[in-house]
Amino acid sequence: MNTAHTLPSSQTPQGWRLLGFLSLGLLLLAAAVLALDPSVEGVRRLIRVTARTSLLLFLLAFTASAAARQWPGAWTRWQVRNRRYLGLGFAVSHTIHALAIATFAQLDPVAFHQASSVGNFISGGIAYGFIAVLAATSFDATAAWLGRPAWQRLHLAGMYYLWISFVITFGKRIPMSPVYVLPIVVLLLALAFRLWPRARRLQ
């Protein structure tokens, strides 16, 4: 059976309902992590967990159009149709991530400054600026006000900057643990998958 044509079902959350489910799930996940360990180590674990949930939601939005072209079916149509809400779910996840970082800085400022740098603040600040602008222009009214060409350029630049930000964030942790090679490989594959149809058209 070709699951691409049978999934998701009509009961699969769509649109704002999907965003509501994602937001609730992320909040419950954060509460569970902190309930299991309310110490600073629990907060640092939450930072790592939300980095992973943010990566997953980002990749679903980042690869939506390419997936629909390569594997047309119910699932990829759902992915494209809900790309806006997956992106907003990513913004929710990364907002929780930012709050966890701020809490870490408050609870253990010495360890926080040891784990951060001026470069982190600059690149991270730009990334969060893009997230805020992309989220704000993910509504019909603001997208219409911005205009289609400007909207496309903004979202293209933002998505690729966030991709670079993820690569840098996970890449610099590879010396600490080789497990961080995995998200780098996934990000590179996602980029190749997104660009591959365009490369084929140029041949």
pLDDT score at 70: 86
pLDDT score at 121: 87
**What is the C-alpha separation between 114 and 117, in angstroms, rounded?**
8
Please report which residue ranges of the chain form alpha helices under DSSP H. Answer: 3-6, 15-36, 40-62, 64-70, 74-81, 83-107, 109-115, 118-136, 140-146, 148-171, 181-202
- In Å, how far are 88, 154, 182 from 133, measured between CA atoms? 11, 9, 29
Q: Choose between 196 and 113: higher pLDDT.
A: 113
Specify burial of residue 160 (Cβ count, 10 A radius: 0-12, 13-18, 19+).
middle
Cβ proximity of 4 and 74 under 8 Å: yes
**What is the C-alpha separation between 176 and 180, in angstroms, rounded?**
8
pLDDT of residue 169 exceeding 50? yes
pLDDT of residue 3 exceeding 50? no
pLDDT of residue 7 exceeding 70? no
Domain limits, the chain: 15-197
Q: For the chain, what is the mean pLDDT?
A: 90
What average pLDDT score do residues 65-72 get?
89
**What is the C-alpha separation between 25 and 58, in angstroms, rounded?**
16
pLDDT score at 158: 95
**What is the C-alpha separation between 53 and 68, in angstroms, rounded?**
22
In the chain, what percentage of residues exceed pLDDT 70? Answer: 92
pLDDT of residue 81 exceeding 70? yes
pLDDT digits (tens, 9 = 90+) for 26-50: 999 999 999 999 999 999 999 999 9
